[in-house]
A = this chain, B = another copy of it.
């Protein structure tokens, strides 16, 4: 029925071992022999049995790329870039040579699914795993992930983090590429402050994610430096692992009042912005957790009959492709998603040497566009 290595060997009049060596290419084989084997492969339309191969070799050519939301270009861009580096150029023959199979796994932001996927990849003896995007800060889950990654690394799987902060004990990881979310958030708010804004609303992401926290901390750092916040440290409002930040009415009054949390989607931006405008009609600027949320914020501002940026400035984060097409074009913070993804892919393939200490921080660049302007006098 199904063609096996042995069939190819018989047809090429060589031993199975020789066929294996030709196919894997990592062993000297006479040119004429190779020729014969390759012809037999084509004649028989032979396709290697992946599981058998992986079983014998104790490793597979699967590379997993975990994303929080596959429908979000933020992840799509990184994953696509990583895949470019991992999948190889393809020889165009469709014969599938030594390439890896780069596959993206959608966790939907769920810690359970993240763990499940890691187990599944572990089960497959994946060659490498790339985790993209912010992590959930629940200590239990973080410990579980760390443990799982350690086991994966133990079994020879290369683990790379992309757009995610390093693990507490980064030993299990080949490399961590972290975005400078905090710096970006700070510069964005500094920009608004320099325009003259003082009452700035913040539509934050889900509470328990690192990305959310870092961007918000950057924002508050800037606010504090401008003397617009009570005392306390930068992380004050969110310290303690992010399980809740509703306390601290004393020095966190403005913070709490001017911050609303929600998922990283358009709807959340819309709703949160309406809420902010209700709570504090005097806000002159809204900073959103990311560009998608910012789009929702813009819609809400408009629906309230306010103009952007004349009445209210709006800013986002990420600089996704659509942001430049918003009307007015969105002021945001550019993250080099494609470059980071590609680098993560190379790191996963061992095609690039890891940064010193295994950790690299990737700069975030402020992009000033039409959606921000000085507040009305």
Residues of chain A at the chain B interface (Cβ within 8 Å): 2, 45, 47-55, 60-62, 64, 69-73, 76-77, 79-80, 83-84, 87, 90, 92-96, 99, 101-106, 108, 110, 112-113, 115-125, 144, 148, 151, 155, 265-266, 292, 295-296, 298-299, 302, 321-322, 324-327
Contact = CB atoms under 8 A, between A and B. Distances in A.
A59 to B, nearest CB: 9
A327 B54 CA distance: 53
Contacts of A106: 79-80, 83, 87, 102, 104
A77 B71 CA distance: 5
A116 B96 contact: yes
A119 B70 contact: no
B104 A116 contact: no
A134 B71 CA distance: 18
A144 B94 CA distance: 9
Nearest to A321: B266
Nearest to A96: B119
25 contacts: A49-B125, A50-B124, A51-B52, A52-B55, A69-B80, A70-B76, A70-B80, A73-B76, A76-B76, A80-B108, A84-B108, A87-B113, A90-B110, A94-B116, A94-B118, A99-B120, A101-B117, A101-B121, A102-B106, A103-B104, A266-B325, A296-B325, A302-B327, A326-B327, A327-B327
A172 to B, nearest CB: 15
Interface centre among A70, A112, A121, A144, by most B CB within 10 Å?
A: A70
Contacts of A49: 55, 123, 125
A50 B125 contact: yes
Contacts of A45: 151
A43 to B, nearest CB: 15
The 7 lowest CB-CB distance pairs between A and B, nearest first, are A103-B103, A94-B115, A51-B54, A71-B76, A96-B119, A50-B123, A327-B327
Contact of A55 (B55, B64, B72): B55
The quantity of this chain's copies bound in the complex is: 2
Nearest to A79: B70
Contacts of A48: 123
A51 B55 contact: yes
Contacts of A103: 64, 103-105
Contact of A70 (B70, B101, B148, B295): B70
Contacts of A325: 266, 295-296, 298-299, 326
A124 B51 contact: yes
A123 B70 contact: no
A368 to B, nearest CB: 18
Contacts of A50: 51, 54, 60, 120, 123-125
A54 to B, nearest CB: 4
Contacts of A70: 70, 76, 79-80, 83, 104
